[in-house]
């Protein structure tokens, strides 16, 4: 059964809540939006950012938060769908942060899979990416 508009709105609320807690540097708050399970998955933008299980995801988000200050995340675009208690969503976000090396600013794409639980929608898969530099609009691969 296809998700209702209210269910899609509830998924958006969950993702907004995660991004808000993440932006505030609230590790426990951010992790409250993930299903506490050994099978959840996260893929980040770094070569080593592949986590399996709640503890590994928590460690990665903790690393993100300790390596940044003044973190700001705003969602610029959102789309979701789903059925039978499973939702999938994609977002584009503007991310800004101060890091030890330099200020960071990027447009980031984040996709999610969530499941409906008695405590609300919980993230079971997240994947963040940054569009490839040098790839022109209308092209499938970067140019020279």
Distance CA 133, CA 21 (A): 29
The CATH number of the domain holding residue 35 is 3.10.450.50
- Is residue 15 a part of any domain in this protein? yes
- The residue range of the domain holding 78 is 5-127
Neighbours of 16 (CB within 10 A): 14
List CB contacts of 9: < 8 A, sequence separation 6 or more.
Answer: none
- Inter-CA distances, 134 with 106, 124, 131, 142, 143, Å: 14, 32, 9, 5, 6
Confirm whether 134 is domain-assigned.
Answer: no
H helices present in 40-87, as ranges: 54-66
Tokens representing residue 140 in the block: 């499938």
- Give the orientation angle of helix 54-66 with respect to helix 5-23, to 10 degrees: 50
Q: What is the pLDDT along the chain (144 residues), one digit of tens a residue?
A: 899 999 999 999 999 999 999 999 999 999 999 999 999 999 999 999 999 999 999 999 999 999 999 999 999 999 999 999 999 999 999 999 999 999 999 999 999 999 999 999 999 999 999 998 888 889 888 886
For residue 135, being part of any structural domain is answered with no
Domains contained in the chain, number: 1
Residue 65 lies in a domain: yes
143 domain-assigned: no
Q: Look at residue 30 and tell me if it is in a domain.
A: yes
Distances (CA, A) of 140 to 46, 74, 86, 137: 22, 27, 30, 8
88 contacts 112 by C-beta, under 8 angstroms: yes
Beta bridge partners of 34: 123
The pLDDT, as a whole number, for residue 23 is 95
Per residue in 5-20, pLDDT tens?
999 999 999 999 999 9
């Amino acid at each position: 059964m296809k998700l209702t508009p209210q269910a899609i709105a509830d998924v958006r609320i969950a993702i907004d809540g995660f991004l808000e807690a993440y932006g505030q540097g609230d590790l426990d708050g951010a992790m409250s939006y993930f299903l506490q399970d050994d099978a959840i998955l996260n893929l980040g933008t770094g070569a080593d950012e592949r986590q399996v299980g709640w503890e590994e995801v928590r460690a990665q988000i903790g690393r993100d938060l300790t390596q940044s200050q003044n973190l700001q995340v705003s969602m610029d675009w959102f789309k979701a769908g789903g059925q039978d208690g499973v939702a999938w969503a994609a977002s584009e976000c503007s991310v800004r942060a101060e890091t030890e090396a330099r200020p960071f600013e990027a447009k980031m794409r984040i996709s999610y899979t969530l499941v409906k639980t008695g405590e609300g929608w919980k993230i079971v898969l997240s994947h963040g990416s940054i569009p490839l530099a040098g790839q022109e609009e209308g092209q499938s691969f970067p140019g020279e």
